[in-house]
Amino acid sequence: MSHETPSKTDTTPAERARALFKALAAKNLIPDGFIADFTRKMEVDWDPANGARVVARAWVNPEFRELLLKDGTAACEEFGYTGPQGEYIVALENTPKLQNVIVCSLCSCTNWPVLGLPPEWYKSFEYRARLVREGRTVLRELGEDLPDDVTVQVWDTTAETRYMVLPVRPEGTEGMSEEDLAKLVTKDVLIGTARPKAPSRSIA
Amino acid sequence: MDGIHDLGGMQGFGKVPHTNNSLSYKPVFHEDWEHLAYSLLFLAADKLKNFSVDELRHAIERMDSRHYFSSPYYDRIVIGTATLLVENGVISQEELNEFLGAEFKLARPYWSEGRVGKSGRSAFEVGDLVEVRNEFVSGHIRMPGYVRGKQGVILHRTSVKWPFPDTIGHGKAAVAEPTYHVRFKMSDLWGTAGDDGFVVVDLFESYLDKVTLPSAEGQKSSQSQKALAALV
């Protein structure tokens, strides 16, 4: 046997990722700083707090709300929240009788700049397989038990549109500042598996 | 491609491993290699312009089915990226094996040439009743199998056009098309073996045909109108 076949059989994802990195680095194909810069975008810049700010603005500012629903890309661009996997943004308007929820059944497509990278559970085979068929049941299991008169509308991210859910502003939040309202909008609220809740009143 | 990746509607899966609002989402990466997956993908696709993200999706779909199902998410990104870089001659299988100290298992070779879209038709309008073409495509396609042959109503036509995935996903220059947000009744997709509600799928123009309602007389027409009304 002339060509040595590598003998090790069990390799880990970490080892494979590093092998690919080394193969590219050995050919000087990785520019200085490229990975650090891209990693900073993924870890810091693309964050669900971005989407939360967009939602809070729409809750307090009717003109912005109208823009967000008409041209989500332009509205998010006002905050600088566009970029890779967030170039054609559509906001999905919830009503008391309609709950929108987002999935990518074929892979993991997500509005990165507005929602942050997709979490592991969103990329799970369970969520990808089940949401388009039993959305109401999946939401209940995740902790959002919707009344029967609320319609569940699932959006499968199968092309270039990247979605965000615009939830209903919860009752009991009158007079809250835009900044405090944004704190009610979690990543799961932006994906649509959860509805925002008014903060419970502290016993003073 | 009717592969294992086309999971929508597949039964037998347990609970989604999550409870709402139970995570801080920081840190974004849980292992110190995970950031390399998207970083190296974007290096190859965006910086080196070696392939499109469509080709990356198709490369992952070309993974052997057992391989796909047993590999974690970011691992699949690494494997797809490595596959295309080898196929395009940027790095070699031998180099990967050497750095890994083992056989670096890649995706399977293409078994389809891809196809071109149906250009030259008039665009569909919001409110149109459309049917997803009853086609079987061995190569890359962005139509989940669960809507094949089904009827739905258009909610939105995009103001931007993008290269047709079934072409560009095979590394070929593609004609750009708008996509449509098409709303389907869940019961039209799953009968009574699913929940109620709607599913909206973002479909390229070439996947769709307009359904022309019988314009004529009486019963038939009003039934069709009723069917349409139920979908809107």
Please state the ipTM of this predicted complex: 0.94
- DSSP H helices, A101-193, are 112-115, 125-130, 135-142, 178-182, 187-191
> Mind telling me how many Å the CA of A203 is from chain B's nearest CA?
24
Q: Which pLDDT value is given to residue A10?
A: 86
Q: Which pLDDT value is given to residue B119?
A: 87
A13: confidence class by pLDDT, cuts 50, 70, 90: very high
User: Cβ of A35 and B13 within 8 Å?
Assistant: no
Residue closest to B21 by CA, chosen among A110, A130, A139? A139
Interface of B with A in 24-83 (CB under 8 A): 25, 27-29, 31-40, 42-44, 46-48, 57, 60, 69, 71-75, 78-79, 81-82
> Mind telling me how many Å the CA of A162 is from chain B's nearest CA?
10
Instruction: Round to whole Å and give the CA distance between B187 and B193.
Output: 8
* Tokens of residue B87, six digits: 């196929």
H/E element, A134 = none
User: Cβ of A16 and B75 within 8 Å?
Assistant: yes
Q: Which pLDDT value is given to residue B223?
A: 54
A204: confidence class by pLDDT, cuts 50, 70, 90: very low
Share of chain A above pLDDT 90, in %: 92
Residue A104: active-site member = yes
pLDDT above 50: residue A2: no
Q: Mean pLDDT across chain A, nearest whole number? A: 94
Q: Which pLDDT value is given to residue B52?
A: 97
pTM: 0.94
B164 to chain A, any CB pair closer than 8 A? The answer is no
Chain A CB contacts of B153 below 8 Å: none
Parts of chain B with a pLDDT under 70: 215-232
- Judge contact between A155 and B203, C-beta under 8 A: no
H/E element, B117 = none
A1: confidence class by pLDDT, cuts 50, 70, 90: very low
Q: Which pLDDT value is given to residue B213?
A: 79
Q: Which pLDDT value is given to residue B229?
A: 62
Catalytic annotation, pick one of A2, A7, A105, A107: A107
Chain A CB contacts of B96 below 8 Å: 19-20, 23
B85 to chain A, any CB pair closer than 8 A? The answer is yes
pLDDT above 80: residue A145: yes
